[in-house]
Amino acid sequence: MNQSSQTSRAIIAFAVTAALLIAVGIGQSWSLALTILNLCLISAVMALGVNIQWGYGGLFNVGIMGFAALGGVAAVLVSKAPVPGAWAVGGTNLMLAAAFCIATIAGTILLYRRLPKGRLRLLSITVVIAVGYFVIRYFYDPAVAAIESVNPAKHGYLGGLGLPIIFSWVVGGLFAAGAAWIVGKVVLGLRSDYLAIATLGISEIIIAVLKNEDWLTRGVKNVTGLSRPVPYEIDLQQIPWFIRWVEKLNATELASLSVEVRSDVLHKLVIDYSTLFVKLCYTGLFASVLVIILLLSTSALNSPWGRMMRAIRDNEVSASAMGKNITARHLQVFILGSAVVGIGGAMLTTLDGQFTPGTYHPLRFTFLIWVMVIVGGSGNNLGAVLGGFLVWFFWIEAEPVGLWLIDNATGWLGENHALRIHLMDSAQHMRLFLMGLVLLLVMRFSPGGILPQVIRRR
Amino acid sequence: MPEWSDLLNALVLLANFVLIPALSYGSQLALGALGITLVYGILRFSNFAHGDTMAFGAMVTILATWWLQSRGIGIAPLPTALLGLPFGIIATSVLCIVVDKTVYRHYRLQKSPSIVFVIASIGVMFMINGIVRFIIGPDDQQFADGERFIIKARDFKSMTGLSEGLTIKVSQGLTIVIAVVLVIALFWFLQKTRTGKSVRAFSDNEDLALLSGIDPDRVVMVTWILAAALATIAGTLYGLDKSFKPFTYFQLLLPIFAAAIVGGIGQPIGAIVGGFIIAFSEITITYAYKKFFKYLLPEQWEPQGLMQLLSTDYKFAVSFIILVVVLLVRPTGIFRGRVL
Closest CA to A420 of A430, A409, A431: A409
List the single residue in A with minimal CA-CA distance to B125: A436
Distance, CA of B320 to CA of B70 (rounded, Å)? 42
pTM of the predicted protein model: 0.86
Q: What is the mean pLDDT of chain B?
A: 86
Is residue A96 over pLDDT 50? yes
Q: How far is B223 from chain A (nearest CA, A)?
A: 20
CB contact set of B332 (below 8 Å; sequence gap of 6+): B264, B338, B339
Q: What is the mean pLDDT of chain A?
A: 83
In this prediction, what percent of chain A has a pLDDT beyond 90?
12
Cβ distance of B313 and A197 shorter than 8 Å = no
Q: Provide the pairing of β-strand B168-169 with B149-151.
A: antiparallel
Q: How far is A378 from chain B (nearest CA, A)?
A: 12
- Measured between beta carbons, the chain B residues lying within 8 angstroms of A141 are 305
Q: What is the rounded average pLDDT of the residues A80-96?
A: 77
| Per-residue model confidence (pLDDT) at position A3 | 66
Distance, CA of B258 to CA of B286 (rounded, Å)? 17
Q: How far is B340 from chain A (nearest CA, A)?
A: 6
| Per-residue model confidence (pLDDT) at position B293 | 78
Q: pLDDT tens across A314-354, in order?
A: 888 888 888 888 888 889 999 999 999 999 999 998 888 88
DSSP notation for B225-253: HHHHHHHHHHHHHHHHHS-B-HHHHHHTH
Q: How far is CA A365 from CA A209, A348, A351, in A?
A: 18, 11, 16
Is residue B340 over pLDDT 50? no
Q: Residue B169 belongs to what H/E stretch?
A: strand B168-169
| Per-residue model confidence (pLDDT) at position A45 | 93
Cβ–Cβ < 8 Å for A452, A384: no
Which B positions 93-122 lie with beta carbon below 8 A of chain A?
103, 106, 113-116, 118-120, 122
Task: Reduce the DSSP state of residue B144 to 3 states and report it.
Answer: coil
Nearest-CB residue to B120 (from A192, A363, A440): A440
Q: How far is CA A189 from CA A192, B190, B223, in A?
A: 9, 33, 30
Q: pLDDT tens across B43-75, in order?
A: 888 899 999 999 999 999 999 998 888 888 877
Q: Does A196 touch chain B (CB under 8 A)?
A: yes
- Measured between beta carbons, the chain B residues lying within 8 angstroms of A443 are 116, 119-120, 123
Q: What is the rounded average pLDDT of the residues A144-166?
A: 75
The H-assigned helical ranges of A28-83 are 30-51, 57, 64-79
Cβ–Cβ < 8 Å for A206, A371: no
Catalogue the E-assigned strands of A21-172.
none
Is residue A1 over pLDDT 60? no
Is residue A456 over pLDDT 70? no
Closest CA to A176 of A10, A310, A12, A49: A49
B136 vs A427: which has the higher pLDDT: B136
- Amino acid identity at B206: E
Q: pLDDT tens across B173-199, in order?
A: 889 999 999 989 999 998 899 999 999
The H-assigned helical ranges of B137-245 are 153-160, 170-192, 194-204, 206-211, 216-241
Closest CA to A434 of B31, B126, B291, B169: B126
| Per-residue model confidence (pLDDT) at position B87 | 92
- Measured between beta carbons, the chain A residues lying within 8 angstroms of B48 are 196
Nearest-CB residue to A433 (from B118, B122, B134): B134
Q: pLDDT tens across B245-298, in order?
A: 888 888 888 899 989 989 888 888 888 999 999 999 998 888 878 777 777 777
Q: What is the rounded average pLDDT of the residues A379-397?
A: 87
Q: How far is B127 from chain A (nearest CA, A)?
A: 4
| Per-residue model confidence (pLDDT) at position B338 | 66
| Per-residue model confidence (pLDDT) at position B124 | 93
Q: Of A440, A444, A445, which to mutate for an interface test with B (greatest number of B Cβ within 10 Å)?
A: A440
Q: pLDDT tens across B87-122, in order?
A: 999 999 999 999 999 999 999 888 888 888 998 998
CB contact set of B201 (below 8 Å; sequence gap of 6+): B208, B209, B212, B214
Nearest-CB residue to A191 (from B119, B120, B340): B340
Q: pLDDT tens across B301-317, in order?
A: 777 667 777 777 788 78
Q: pLDDT tens across B113-155, in order?
A: 888 899 899 899 989 998 998 888 888 888 877 778 888 878 8
Q: What is the rounded average pLDDT of the residues B204-231?
A: 91
Q: Does A435 touch chain B (CB under 8 A)?
A: yes
Q: Any idea which of A321-325, A355-359, A406-410, B104-108 has the lowest mean pLDDT?
A: A406-410
A71: burial class by Cβ within 10 Å (0-12, 13-18, 19+)? buried
CB contact set of A337 (below 8 Å; sequence gap of 6+): A49, A50, A51, A52, A53, A56, A57, A59, A61, A180
List the single residue in B with minimal CA-CA distance to A130: B309
Distance, CA of A391 to CA of A48 (rounded, Å)? 14
Residue A417's region, left for phi above 0, alpha for psi from -120 to 50, else beta, is beta
Q: Does A430 touch chain B (CB under 8 A)?
A: yes
Q: Does A314 touch chain B (CB under 8 A)?
A: no
Is residue A125 over pLDDT 80? yes
Cβ contacts from A onto B, under 8 A = 128
Distance, CA of B158 to CA of B165 (rounded, Å)? 9
Across the strands, what pairs with B78?
A: B75
Cβ–Cβ < 8 Å for A378, A449: yes
Radius of gyration of chain A (CA): 26
Catalogue the E-assigned strands of A283-339.
none
The H-assigned helical ranges of B212-330 are 216-241, 246-251, 253-263, 268-286, 290-296, 315-329
Which ipTM did the prediction report?
A: 0.85
- Measured between beta carbons, the chain B residues lying within 8 angstroms of A426 are 133-135, 137
**B14 confidence band (pLDDT: 50, 70, 90):** confident
| Per-residue model confidence (pLDDT) at position B30 | 93
A155: burial class by Cβ within 10 Å (0-12, 13-18, 19+)? buried
Nearest-CB residue to B323 (from A193, A201, A435): A201
Cβ distance of A429 and B114 shorter than 8 Å = no
Distance, CA of B203 to CA of B214 (rounded, Å)? 12
In this prediction, what percent of chain B has a pLDDT beyond 90?
32
Radius of gyration of chain B (CA): 22
Q: Of A144, A193, A435, which to mutate for an interface test with B (greatest number of B Cβ within 10 Å)?
A: A193
Q: Does A358 touch chain B (CB under 8 A)?
A: no
DSSP state for residue A220 in the 8-state scheme: G
CB contact set of A386 (below 8 Å; sequence gap of 6+): A10, A13, A14, A17, A376, A377, A450, A451
Phi, psi of B143 (to 5 degrees): -145, 10
Nearest-CB residue to A198 (from B124, B129, B324): B324
Closest CA to B340 of B325, B321, B327: B327
DSSP state for residue B15 in the 8-state scheme: I
CB contact set of A322 (below 8 Å; sequence gap of 6+): none
